[in-house]
Amino acid sequence: MGSVNLRAYESCTLCPRKCGANRLAGELGVCGASSRVSVARAALHLWEEPPISGITGSGTVFFAHCPLHCVYCQNREISVRSIDSDANPWIDRAISSGELSDIFFDLQANGANNINLVTATHYLPEVVEAIERARSEGLAIPFLLNTSGYESMETLRALDGLIDIYLTDFKYADPALAQRYSRAADYPQVVKEALAEMVRQTGAPKYRDGGEDGELLVSGTVVRHLVLPGCFEDSLAIIDYLGAEYGSQIALSLMSQYMPLADSGEFPEIARRIDPHGYAALVARAEAMDFEECFIQDPSAAIEDYIPAFEGL
């Protein structure tokens, strides 16, 4: 745990891509980001898992850009297209670590149950500084890292002691799928190593009584898996791995909200909704495991209403 020098941007290795871009000189990393911290949205969010959102909401801070660039990303407006300042003028406004810390306090004042940092680690120096400042000035709610799971060990170790909750994806067990849909054949190995570090840091999930908000998560790791069309065996392999390796040390969130994008013609095999019978079979498999909790979704979750509007600050 500790501050991360801005020189980390000079030859960037913050994510497993290790592209070496000199982001301090204005070069863009594989993620699409320079050293200018860009936030696409900061607001209460009601659509996370129940112990994270509760009733009043999770204080989400959506950062622009992403190292992974999944072809089916529902937040592609900020993860892929955020480089286009004509389409998204808010990306031209950089924020400081002090301003980021102020955002945390504003969200807490508005009733947030936690501070939810969405795809944040390519801005690690400012994120670490903002968390440390907020904690020193009395911020009282948990910090949550909402991540694709494609994280370097060095980055996660820099967050040790700063992040209370990891909300991480486990997208693929098969390197071929990871390469086709995210151009990251190393994803399965990276996510396994990253998840082990997350669970080591947080331990098993712990909760508090949130009154009307119900039980709220205060620490621990929640693993999300988005079920993709035609990838039943891969989903099954992920559930089996997580159950055998972690069981009650994690909560599992099995997501049915996949939506085919209008421009997904290059990938016809996923240009459709998931099979509800296949999803039900995966749910049955997961519920037979010893997970701390298993969150499932109704098929009605696969609608655009759950995608937030990204308008900047």
Handedness of CA 292, 153, 129, 73 (dihedral sign): negative
Could you tell me the pLDDT band of residue 3, with boundaries at 50, 70 and 90?
A: low
Average confidence score pLDDT of the chain: 91
pLDDT value, residue 308:
57
pLDDT tens figures, 179-193:
999 999 999 999 999
The CATH fold assigned to 36-306 is: TIM Barrel (3.20.20)
Q: Do residues 79 and 147 lie in contact, with contact meaning Cβ atoms separated by under 8 Å? A: no
In this prediction, residues 245-271 reach a mean pLDDT of: 90
pTM score, whole prediction: 0.93
Q: What angle do CA 203, 208, 212 make, to 5 degrees?
A: 145
pLDDT value, residue 309:
53
Could you tell me the pLDDT band of residue 216, with boundaries at 50, 70 and 90?
A: very high
pLDDT tens figures, 58-112:
999 999 999 999 999 987 777 765 555 555 655 556 899 999 999 999 999 999 9
Residues facing 223 on adjacent strands: 168, 252
Extract the tokens encoding 141. 């709610």
Where does residue 26 rank: exposed (0-12), middle (13-18), buried (19+ CB within 10 A)? exposed
State whether residue 97 is helix, strand or coil: helix
- How many residues can be counted in the chain? 313
The CB density around residue 176, as the number of other CB atoms within 10 Å, is 11
Question: What is the C-alpha to C-alpha distance for residues 156 and 152, in angstroms, rounded to an integer?
Answer: 6
pLDDT tens figures, 293-310:
999 998 665 455 555 554
Flag whether pLDDT at 240 surpasses 90.
yes
Question: 165-169 and 251-255 as β-strands: parallel, antiparallel, unpaired?
Answer: unpaired
Question: What is the C-alpha to C-alpha distance for residues 154 and 182, in angstroms, rounded to an integer?
Answer: 22
